[in-house]
Chain A
Amino acid sequence: MTTLAELARLIRSKNAGPFELTFDIMFDDAATYRRVKESGVLTREKIAACYGLEPSQVKFFLCDHALAIKASIPRPCFQGDLRDSDGHGGQQYAPLMAIEIP
């Protein structure tokens, strides 16, 4: 088992507008991308579980040209609301780093 953080070239989160949050998990080479994609571990359901959502609330994409896996969720708080703690949404990806990939 290897963690996603060890396999990815970049894991990031960012606002996709003020109302959605998006995660990009990007790889250097096709083989690593394929390994993660085909592991069946990193799924819509997995992302939903990490952020306390129903799978139907998660948009999930396999981006072959970009060698990237991407997911988008409704923002936990709208950007800039009084309870929002991350205006750019840039530090919400940490729970994804520890996902174990066979």
Chain B
Amino acid sequence: MNEIRILSPTGVCGSGFLEKSFEKALGQNPHVVGCDAGSTDPGPGYLGSGRTAFPRDAIQRDLRLMLNGARKLNVPLLIGSAGTAGADIQLDLVYAMLKEIAAGDALKFRLALIHSEQKKSYLRQRLREGRVKPLHPAPEFDEAAIDRSEHIVGMMGAEPFIRALEAGADVVLAGRASDTAIFAAMPVMRGFPEGISWHAGKILECGAAAVVNRKTPDCMFAWVRKDHFVVEAPDPALRCTPQSIASHSLYENADPFRLVECSGTLDLTNSRYEAVDERSVRVSGSEFIPAERYTVKLEGAEKAGYQSILIGSVRDPFIIRQIDDWTARLSDRIHERVRMIYGDRLKPEDYFFNVRIYGKNGTMGPLEPVKEIRSHELCLVFEATAPTQEIASTIAGITRHQALHLPIPEWSGLITAVACPYNHLDRGAVYRFNVNHVVEPDSPYEMFPMQLIEIDGANTVMRAS
């Protein structure tokens, strides 16, 4: 085998792609179709709650096309970070969607389900052994943090995908995975150089994001060879240039030259980028430095509380010029009212009251270099975060009343200081990321158990593995 052809239909399963591009790419006979389905970018709420960032129907649409396309060519379909964060509840959701599609379209295939959610007992054990190491910067991660977590997932490398392919899987549905590993798995398995394989994976994982003139999420295609890879977008209107491909390693990476994976570091210091023609680019020289110790990055989320918010605005220049003092006085009033209502049942450290001031520093907070207010009106977002939704809602209700009528020295008599387009909103539970650490496992597989399942239309039979 002198090349591996890889199709990436889109940057995230659920974000969409053009069917015309996908059909054209299938005509180029890929050996594998891969798709990343998640990210931490939408925030901790998805790992915390188990919901998906993209709507179910949008995920289903992309999945159906990818699954039918891969089955038509009889090539593996690899999906990583199922359901946004890759927790078991999200993996199960996408698994159910796959079964539904298989039943509807009478598809038969061997499915490998790879779990990435971590047992708390396992993490406690590794923590006690000193085999959980912080990255930088990292929140404190101890047994209490493990206990508080809603879900903790490990980010798998290429090995669990390779194991699934070697077990004859036609479709691999994986929990949280390195985006790049999804695409590196097949060429690494076939013995192609790791530097070339991982770099191709890095470009492919975002779909057509690395083109010059991205119009909409769409497909990307790569030919991975022994000493280089070529990348091209199937849509003839899209162009890759050496600069656009070189630039892609900047996006969402802290270090554009060194990308750390479980098994080593992709080093792009000596990568060369050459135009093959107007639309495709040849990349060579990329290196992969094997790690001394295999590591798996953890992602975890814990509940920060329940939140209620109130949105309002002020137009009175008297209030605008004293806005910091006004919000400080408001906070004091609210804490006082909370004490009157809850007494010792709710301590000040049990809830959090915050005011965002748009028109002043709503976007950058304390880092905002512009200090004076230049706007004739300000938008205020009041947030109450508390141990229960009922308490959060109560504090937001207090806020509305206190903010409306908080006196200012310039006026005498009862004022109404805030314009509110609607009453407060209950946001439900809110979450925070609580770990930025790696685990040192004994093997690349121990954190990622696999199930092999024969899918046959509507009838599925579970097989032990």
Interface residues of A (CB under 8 A from B): 14-20, 22, 24, 26, 50-52, 59, 61, 63, 65-68, 70, 72, 74-83, 85-88, 91-92, 94-95
Contact = CB atoms under 8 A, between A and B. Distances in A.
A51 B252 CA distance: 19
B40 A18 contact: yes
A52 B271 contact: no
A92 B364 contact: yes
A61 B42 CA distance: 26
- Report whether over half of chain A's contact residues are helix, strand or loop; otherwise say mixed: loop
A65 B242 contact: yes
Interface in B374-416: 383, 385
A41 B390 CA distance: 53
B441 to A, nearest CB: 21
Interface residues of B, number: 44
Contact of B246 (A63, A88, A91): A63
- Report whether over half of chain B's contact residues are helix, strand or loop; otherwise say mixed: loop
Contacts of A79: 40, 43-44, 433
A50 B271 CA distance: 31
Given A59-B255, A76-B366, 9 more contacts: A18-B44, A59-B254, A63-B246, A78-B139, A83-B365, A85-B362, A86-B363, A88-B41, A95-B364
- Please list the 10 inter-chain residue pairs (A to B) with the smallest Cβ-Cβ separation, ordered nearest first: A65-B246, A72-B254, A66-B247, A16-B254, A80-B44, A66-B246, A80-B43, A18-B433, A74-B137, A20-B254
User: Residue among A70, A80, A85, A95 with the most chain B CB within 10 A?
Assistant: A80
A68 B247 contact: yes
Nearest to A10: B247
B363 A91 contact: yes
Interface string B94-111: 000000000000000000
Interface string B29-50: 0000000000011111100000
Interface string B245-282: 01101111111110000000000000101000000000
Given A18-B436, A65-B242, A70 B250 contact: yes
22 contacts: A14-B252, A15-B41, A18-B44, A22-B250, A22-B253, A22-B254, A63-B250, A63-B257, A65-B271, A66-B243, A66-B246, A68-B247, A78-B432, A80-B43, A80-B433, A81-B432, A82-B383, A85-B364, A87-B42, A88-B41, A92-B364, A95-B369
B277 to A, nearest CB: 19
Contacts of B363: 85-86, 91-92, 94
